[in-house]
Structure 1
Amino acid sequence: MSFPPDLDDSQQLPSGKKEIDFHTEHPLFQDLCPDDSYTPEGVYWADLPWKERQTWVNEQSNAETKRELKVVWDMFKKDPLSPLNAYCSRYVITGFGMFTEGYTIFSIGNLMSLYTAVWPECWGTHEVCDKNWIAAVSYIQIIGIICGQIGVGIEGDWIGRRVGLVQDALVMVLGLVMLTASWGTTLNGWVICYAWSQFVYTLGVGGEYPMTSTSALEHAAPSGTAQRDDKLHRGRNVVLAFLMQGWGQLVNQGVLIILLLIFHGGSTPPYSKKTGQWVFRVSFAFMIPFTLWLAYWRYYKKQYSEHALRKSKKDAHVNQSGYDMASLKLVVSHFGGRLVGTCLGWLFADFLFYGAKLFQSTFIKVITPNSTGVMTGWLWNLLNVGVSMFGYYLAAFLVDHKFYGRKRMQTIGFLLLGILYLLPAIWFHQLQSMEHIKGFQTIYFLASFFTQFGPNCTTFLLAAEVFPVSVRATAHGLSAASGKVGALLPAIIYNYIDNRTKFWAVCWFGFAGWITTQMFIPDVTGLDLREQDRYWAFVREGRAKDYHGIAVHPRHLSMWERVVLKRHRAYDPELDRQSRVKELRVMWEARNQIKEEGGRIDIEDHEDDELSSTAHSFFERELRTLEKPRDCSLSHTPSRNPSRLSRRLSLTGLSHTPQQHDTRDVHDAPNEKQ
């Protein structure tokens, strides 16, 4: 890629001009080829030969790691607690909704064994309780989550992220109060009340999925670093918020163990009804003040970054309070393969995750065949969640590395989970013998590790970032709801098959997830979300074939998009550079038009555009070279004398004369058929 040198007013452009090195001289170079994605020669990193690409990626990764470590060390020297405070304010608070839902949802599952031990006539033999209502406790929970995921996902794109997040927290507070106070004149009446209390709570839980992912994805970084942070750390930002779900599980299991020791005075059965009542009610009440604080913080303290959503609606001529139905239909038609990939991928991932939870007792019985009471299972689960936390954090560490990234992480995770569950299916009886018990333990912990260091984290991230901002929460909600269907399937299927057949059933979902990811999921590691929205603007106008940028680079497309749809053929770095220079000029003219008309530029609406101070100075300088002051007008009146910029652009194939140029934003151009 080559660019013309920036010439001062005294220089001309003779046909025999001297060639000079552009890369350190042209003022638009950093705007068109930022060093976080391009080499000093202006080559996109994914266009490099494999060995050079490997060198460039490793050098960039190492340099960024050193820079961040230096920043953390400088913070630590000034205030030893400041790095922890920064981590909590950025990731813990953003993902605190996932913490509260992880605590409560898995508390409901963990308490099942206690209910069975305390009220066996209800939860065990079903003598006094309806078997269907006992089963409904699990089904209603999943149905509530699905309704919340779809409903709040649509609401988040329709009304805004803030409303969805505050509403989720308030609904979860109400659900926790209902769970704590659930009662009935009979045990069966209590089960019914308990089930519907779960439904209310899980409506808020479902909404947390699309709202947490989009808020973490669209986090407003400090001025001047937003796009760099998006390209280099976007995946980490989302995964570190999502892994708060794991911390919720860990804290809940610890709280339940402590409460049982307090109210029972030990861990061995039998457990009294009074103990059961105190343990489950206090465990739910424990999270009420934290969730109430979350609602307060989201309403009064949290800063929201919704300018990209507003800008997308404005460009699509959608009222701010309206829903962009046209974009949703277009996503289904244009990005249908991606929607299939995220929905099926999450379905397979949740079948693996929740399926493993359902036959977790099988593992524990094999590992500790002579155990009694609930404490043994709870302690093993506590250890298992601790192992999974390593998977969460390793996923956050590698999810943005361009040679590993989210797609490869999900692919490898699915494949290994399929293999890990295939092994006990083949050697089920052998692994249950005491001589091979450590092999069973290894499978148990490795499955937990690769679930988190794999599809459980990546499906949460990919379902948001591969779709345009205007329908991002909706697409995430639909994908997450498909996942809950995957969670519902093993709850039904496992009632009709034996333990060995469960392993035979679940392993194929790992292999199916591996194939689905390879076929339909694009690798967008390192791709700027702003560039994806730029591509979407062309798609929305019916001009997808006129887009030649890196969003259609073969590296960032799925196999379906490359092999079947052939979208990579539109990629052309030179044509894209020409288009981007024109777009920068349009942005600059639009700003000046507002200033000349006495208007005020809304900084928030422009903080994500590409007009840097360098680009502004460049176009400002070019404007001053016009021969007549009246030519500074940004009206559409044709100019008799082309500007020097126009002459230079015409010499480089970027013809941009005033006669040809329309100062409307490129996204507002009339629709054209592909």
Structure 2
Amino acid sequence: MADSQPQRQTRVSDLEDFERSDGRPAFVLTMAEVKLLGIAGVGFFLDAYDLFIINPVATMLQYRLYGGQHLPANLEGFMKAGANIGSVIGQFGFGYAADALGRKAVYGKELMLIILATILTLTTPTGSLSPNSCLIYLGVFRILLGVGVGGDYPMSASITSDRANLRKRGTMLAYIFSNQGWGSFAGSLVTIIVLLCYKSTMEAGHTSKVDGVWRIIIGVSLIPAFATLYQRLTLPESTRYIKDQQRKTADHEADASEDEITKLKAAQRAEEMRTTTPTPGTPTTTESESKTRAGSETGDEKEKRGSEKIEEDVDVDVSTAPVDLIIKNKAHFKEFLVYFSEWRHFKLLLGTCVCWFLLDIAFYGINLNQNVVLQQIGYDGSSGSPWNRLFKISTGGIIITALGFVPGYYASVLTIEILGRKWIQIQGFLLAGLFLAILAGCFHTLSKVAFIVCFAFLQFFFNFGANTTTYCYPAEVFPTRFRGFAHGISAAMGKCGAIISALAFNTLSKKIGTPACLWIFFGCCMFGALFTLLLPEVKGYDPDEILAEEIRVKRAEKAAATLAAARAD
């Protein structure tokens, strides 16, 4: 323990270039941060865009495939839930890959998957397949789309958290997540514009032309995807990461006799020599010659050898390897299980998973079934020509987004480094629960204006609350080497909540009524606030430093126990 404080001071000193304050508020970004925001934020823009346009697209398919009649309930549910089902797969898979293979090796692949799935969705052969087969075709490729969208959650969170200044980390994550609001807004806006272009054709009786409307709406999402693909694939490692690698190389060379990787490589070379039978008279490399060669290495050769040790993916003995190498080393599944087998670590994962799960039951229960809300405000498209119905639904969608989505996200951006994540999440759960209770208790008696006001506040506190912070927490509370997979698991639990809500809401609302469903969402919010108590405040929190300190303490305790045992003998 004697050297832990100097090591900690060295670590802080090495990163001070990245953490020093420039005197500006956290929400004022540099050009490098704006670029990172554009590269990482497009995934969340596409997530919301693709997720929320499925409601108007489903209505359009009614006219194209079923003559204006409702879609089969089971197939409609499959098509709408497809992206969320795929998201669970993507969040688990890409989350693990981010830790096991490294961010740079994986980042951009999830966007390629989104592009491929979008193109395949556009090829739905509505003119040759049966209506039911078309919905199945569309649903299958929406699952593939969801895999890419889901993979973007842990990837963008890890990339941003790894690169962000500690004092602005939460703000950057909130900025990136706020692109969901803009994605939803853009989806409604693009739908309105395309419908206006098709108005005369559809009003003239050519309802089948709606087939072109939904394909254009979906195809527009390819523009931001292609625009950022190259930047993702070529995104270099962060300055913080490079600096940390250089410092670790220097630490290794300063204490080469204790370098576990060197010992492992020496053991491997010795094993190779033992398993190879030399022919008589063949000269062999003796130990003394090896030492002579090692002693004759120049400083440049040693530096190169140290760099090679970092670049190679060598398994590290956690019990003896240098601490700084451990906390940044690529993680494997066994190490992940060992780390989270301790309650102090597992309770953090439990908190992030349960809070996100409960939040998404309520959040997506409302937003994937906006027809209930649109009906209350007169924008459900229940009357008029096909074009008028579609236009009303799209207009209602943009009203809902403008009222609560975007303002709530930016309230989080502006205050997250002041109020803290824990405070925002708890008050968000409690106040969203309050407005859910008002809507549930007065569902049939609220005036149209009162209903809109309550719903706007509900959306505001979802986003100035748990919908933002449940994304930020896993990216800030877990160490770098476990961050991607832990974030992926947390996000996947959230999507499981969304799937349950999407599949169960319509059935439940018919059996027990919409107000009763809203009371269930209220209960989810209350439990969400309760489980938030498991989480620490992560403003200014450095999980890598905490992990390093834990490793030092364990080693000191082990050394003390060994010494005590030796003295006892």
Q: TM-score, normalised by structure 1?
A: 0.62
For each residue in 1:424-459, what CA deviation from the matched residue of structure 2 results, as whole angstroms up to 9, or x when unmatched? 22122211xxxx322211111011111110001100
- Residue of 386, 399, 417 corresponding to 2:416: 399
Q: Judge conservation of contact 2:61–2:211 (CA < 8 Å) in 1.
A: no
User: 1:330 maps to what in 2?
Assistant: 339
Q: Structure 2 vs 1, CA of residues 343 and 272 (structure 1 numbering), >3 Å: closer, same or farther? A: same
Hey, what does 2:485 align to over in structure 1? Answer: 474
Whether contact under 8 Å (2:380, 2:396) holds in the other structure is no
The 3 A distance-change label for structure 1 pair 29 and 526 is: closer
Choose the corresponding residue for 2:138, options 185, 191, 194: 194
Partner of 1:563: none
1:279 lines up with 2:213 in the alignment = yes
Pairing 1:375–2:317 present: no
Q: Does the CA-based 8 Å contact 1:156-1:474 persist in structure 2?
A: yes
Q: CA deviation at 1:252?
A: 1.6
SS in 1 for 2:417: coil
- The one-letter code of the counterpart of 1:262 is C
Distance 1:218 1:201, change over 3 A: same
Instruction: Give the deviation of 1:31 after TM superposition.
Output: 6.9
Change (3 A) 1:160 1:369: closer
Q: Which amino acid aligns with 1:191?
A: L
After superposing the two structures, state which structure 1 stretch, 375-384 or 420-429, moved more.
375-384
**Which residue in 2 is equivalent to 1:51?**
none
- Find the aligned partners of 1:541 and 1:196 in 2 and give their Cα distance: 51
Distance 1:164 1:245, change over 3 A: farther
1:210 aligns with 2:222: no
With over 3 angstroms needed to count, the CA separation of the structure-2 counterparts of 1:525 and 1:442, relative to structure 1, is: same
How far residue 534 of structure 1 moved from its aligned partner, in angstroms, is 2.1
Matched letter for residue 331 of structure 1: F
Which of 542, 547, 550 matches 1:528? 542
Give the letter for the 1:68 counterpart.
R
Whole-angstrom CA distance in 2 between matches of 1:141 and 1:408: 31
**Paired residues of 2:64 and 2:211 also in contact (CA < 8 A):** no
Say if 2:430 is the partner of 1:415.
yes
Give the letter aligned to residue 36 of structure 2. R
Q: Structure 2: which 5+ residue stretches go unaligned?
A: 1-5, 246-309, 384-388, 561-569
SS in 1 for 2:508: coil
Q: How far 1:302 moved relative to its partner?
A: 4.4
CA deviation digits over 1:171-196, x for unaligned, max 9?
A: 11110111111225221221111111
Report the more deviating stretch, 255-264 or 292-301: 292-301
Q: CA-atom RMSD, angstroms?
A: 3.5
Partner of 1:615: none
Q: Which residue of 1 aligns with 2:250?
A: none
Cα offset for 1:476? 0.6
1:284-433 alignment runs, 5 A limit: 284-304=218-238, 306=241, 316=318, 323=332, 325-334=334-343, 335-368=345-378, 372=383, 373-386=389-402, 387-401=404-418, 404-431=419-446
| Partner secondary structure for residue 342 of structure 2 | helix
Q: 104, 109, 118: which is aligned to 2:55?
A: 109
1:169–1:204: 8 Å Cα contact kept in structure 2? yes
The CA distance in 2 between the partners of 1:348 and 1:123, in whole Å, is 34
Quickly say closer, same or farther: Cα 1:368–1:142, change in 2 above 3 A. Answer: same
Higher RCO, 1 vs 2 (CA within 8 Å, ≥6 residues apart): 2
Are the aligned partners of 1:236 and 1:396 in contact in 2 as well (CA < 8 Å)?
yes
SS at structure 1 position matched to 2:158: helix
Question: Deviations 1:558-577 (Å, cap 9, x if unpaired)?
Answer: xxxxxxxxxxxxxxxxxxxx
CA gap of 1:328–1:113, structure 2 versus 1, over 3 A, is: same
CA distance in structure 2 between the partners assigned to 1:347 and 1:70 by the alignment = 29
Q: CA deviation at 1:261?
A: 0.9
CA gap of 1:296–1:64, structure 2 versus 1, over 3 A, is closer
Q: 1:542 to 1:147 in 2, by over 3 A?
A: farther
Counterparts of 1:255 and 1:245, CA distance in 2 = 15
2:559, 2:429 → 1: CA distance?
34
1:269–1:194 distance in 2 versus 1, CA, 3 Å? farther
Report if aligned partners of 1:99, 1:246 keep a CA contact under 8 Å in 2.
yes
Deviation at 1:216, TM superposition (A): 0.8
Report if the CA contact (8 A) 1:348-1:513 is conserved: yes
Q: Which amino acid aligns with 1:527?
A: Y
What percent identity do the matched residue pairs reach?
24
- 1:360 partner amino acid: Q
Higher helix share: 2
Do the aligned partners of 1:332 and 1:339 also contact (CA within 8 Å) in 2?
no
Alignment-mate amino acid for residue 136 of structure 1: F
| Counterpart in the other structure of 1:651 | none
Structure 1, 102-111 or 188-197: larger mean CA deviation: 102-111
